[in-house]
Chains A and B, each alone.
Chain A
Amino acid sequence: MSNIKPETGAFFQRDRQWHPPAYAPDYKTSVVRSPQRALLSFDNTLSEITGPVFGHSILGELDNDLIHNFAKPGESAIGQRIIVHGRVIDERGKGVAGALLEFWQANAGGRYRHKREGYVAALDPNFGGCGRTITDDEGYYRFRTVKPGAYPWPNGVNDWRPAHIHFSVFGHGFAQRLITQMYFEGDPMIWNCPIVRSIPDKAAIEQLVAGLDMNNTIPMDARAYKFDIVLRGRRSTLFENRMEGN
């Protein structure tokens, strides 16, 4: 993973007013799954500063191609072909190299390939819905998929999730661990969704909306969406044990 010196500083404190609160009653499942006591706060120890890092050797050739990684030979998933790409950076604007990203999503009709899922929309026999990749030395990533459909869920009587792709992100420290969802520019469902609206600040919600990126669209093949991800930044270790700079 390049010649960059490993960083050992503690992470910037999380802004928990920016993230969704644990208890967001319009998202009904959160009511009994949210802690009621205050969190115990302490500055990062080595247990949070360190974290697993994954090598490119874990990746298969089609891991970042959801159009083909579950498809029969010569076939492909049905739906709007898109490229999702972007950069993983930290709060200081530094690229995060070697970050493992995992993504999962419904198919073009809004149906997930999961035994607990019973939506009437059909499964696509050529679409599994999972993929993963690792960022390059500058933090860039990309994958290819079909645009997922909206789907209904039993929350309110008539609640529908906007089209979205789930992201699981590993940085370099376990305290950077993050799961989030990416939404698509212009989708009117975004602003009705109780899961989206668990985030109090509109500017924070907009950080989850990927823009249509015509510059990276491949003519006659696939459109592109750009989704940058920001992980927690880290402090200098100057005033701890070592005299290292910023």
Chain B
Amino acid sequence: MVQQLGFLKETPSQTAGPYVHIGCTPNFSGIAGVYESDLGIAMVNDKTLGERITIRGRVFDGTGTPLRDALLEIWQADSNGLYNSPSELRGAADPNFTGWGRCPTDMETGEFVFETIRPGQVPYKDGRLMAPHVTVWIVARGINIGLQTRIYFDDQKAANDQDPILMRIEHKNRVNTLIAKRDGSAYLFDIHLQGDKETIFFDV
């Protein structure tokens, strides 16, 4: 016998269910007066540094139907590639940028919209730079454990070609599922949970 390692087990995930908005975006769901505003609706203010961008899209199920009850959160670096987090030891991130946003999909159209800034590049463990990207976390009724993916940008081709995560993807025809397409002044990023166009999701 050896000593027990003594680690605990992580609390198991459960679906967020159809009424996730009550807890996470109560004002959006019509419960007014409990919180001043919903958390995560504003990532930027007048003083935020960097290029303003809009990211919009929808989340589709395996039948091609948009989810109208999903909740998305994004997490990204500031314009200098620094995270607004205590675990960021490389320097102080832009205090006028939260780095974190939350958006429920529209109850009629299924669309989500984030008003944010273009993230700077962040180093991978070996020092190579990752291409500018936004981390996405998706929960909804029918999703038993939150799905993680990343948004990259189609006008950053040189950086994308050198990105250590994108380079790991064996099926190159799937890389495109992580690349947001410039659409006028916004980037379009549709997410497909299942099927031929299935988005790449991560185990990280």
Contact = CB atoms under 8 A, between A and B. Distances in A.
Interface of A: 1, 6-8, 12-16, 18-22, 24, 27, 29-37, 39-54, 58, 60, 62-63, 69-70, 89-93, 102-104, 112-117, 128-132, 166, 168-169, 172-175, 177-181, 195-196, 198-199, 203-205, 207-208, 229-233, 240
Nearest to A22: B144
* For the complex of A and B, 7 pairs with smallest distance between CB atoms: A104-B23, A29-B142, A33-B142, A50-B85, A52-B100, A32-B62, A39-B203
B61 A32 contact: yes
A39 B202 contact: yes
B86 A91 contact: no
30 contacts: A6-B87, A22-B143, A27-B144, A33-B62, A33-B140, A34-B62, A34-B142, A37-B200, A39-B203, A42-B168, A42-B204, A45-B122, A45-B125, A47-B150, A50-B88, A51-B85, A60-B36, A89-B8, A93-B6, A102-B23, A104-B20, A104-B22, A114-B22, A130-B31, A166-B14, A174-B75, A179-B13, A179-B14, A179-B146, A204-B9
A222 B29 CA distance: 29
Interface stretch (B50-58, B110-118, B129-137, B182-190): B129-137
Give the contact-size bracket for chain B: 35 or more
Contacts of B168: 40, 42
A45 B65 CA distance: 33
Given A50-B85, A129-B31, A207-B9, 20 more contacts: A13-B203, A32-B61, A32-B65, A33-B141, A34-B62, A51-B75, A52-B85, A53-B86, A91-B8, A103-B23, A104-B23, A112-B22, A115-B30, A116-B69, A132-B23, A168-B20, A173-B87, A179-B16, A181-B17, A240-B125
B159 interface: no
B103 interface: no
A170 B98 CA distance: 15
Contacts of A230: 8-11
Contacts of A173: 85, 87
B9 A91 contact: yes
Contacts of B137: 174, 177
B72 to A, nearest CB: 12
Contacts of A169: 11
B67 A6 contact: no
Nearest to B26: A130
Contacts of B86: 1, 6, 53, 172
A35 B195 CA distance: 8
A45 B135 CA distance: 11
A36 B135 CA distance: 21
B1 interface: no
A114 B21 contact: yes
Nearest to A233: B7
Interface of B: 6-24, 26, 29-31, 33-36, 39, 61-63, 65, 67, 69, 73, 75-77, 83-89, 98-100, 107, 122-125, 130, 133, 135, 137, 139-148, 150, 165, 168-169, 174, 193-195, 198-204
Contact of A19 (B65, B84, B122, B145): B145
A109 to B, nearest CB: 15
Contacts of B16: 166, 168, 179
Contacts of A205: 12
Contact of B146 (A49, A113, A130, A178): A178
Given A128-B34, A175-B204, A7 B87 contact: yes
Nearest to B140: A33
**Residue from A44, A230, A231 having most chain B Cβ neighbours under 10 A:** A230
B9 A27 contact: no
Contacts of B31: 70, 113, 128-130
A40 B140 CA distance: 21
B18 A116 contact: yes
A45 B184 CA distance: 31
Contact of B202 (A42, A113, A128, A168): A42
